[in-house]
Structure 1
């Protein structure tokens, strides 16, 4: 089963792909608005589906306002574009974990900032896989 992980943000959306037991960062999409995020993630999804045959989408959510916006993003994406199962999974602290991971890997700040959201998406997706929730 191939799973697309999404870490939604107002400026950047991180994407990760999991095949089997391991999630890996895929790409970061810069966005200007909610609508722009829907459009660009839809395009990325079409690319991922053509190349990777995605079976499920997992969207990271957190507490508070951003979590509600992430849910709205996922629901809009799902209802208008995808006929795949969508799930939500807690993404609390994944951005901090991604920053730590990039420092430990010795990445330059510039490169790390460019990929942090994809790292965060992969951490969230890996946590999802390890939780045993996938089917």
Structure 2
């Protein structure tokens, strides 16, 4: 997400399957002026968005076509993504909730911390990478379930 004149808006959307294979990975043009690309956390830069024609509506249509009520969405702080997408979904596994500690609420553990603690994997140590984060979420949950 990046900050626009309207607030925090979606500027990249990545979906991987249970094998970590990318099935959707697009930069998203929010349609209004971006005032902060939030690069440290989003990995997004001006050059990533320049010329992008994918819109929020395109991403919403993808989600509505590919996900059913039986689809389990796995991610980290998923509510932020659903709010940005203006979508509701009932079946969610959120690593920020599953691996939270009551003493830390309402604060959530960083995904990079969970990946290190649960997988022994360094992620997002340089530029943020949405595919790396999506795969880490999937791997964390699959390892936990096994």
Q: TM-score, normalised by structure 1?
A: 0.48
Q: TM-score, normalised by structure 2?
A: 0.45
Higher relative contact order (CA 8 A, sep 6+): 1
Quick check: which one's helix share is greater? Answer: 1
Quick check: which one's strand share is greater? Answer: 1
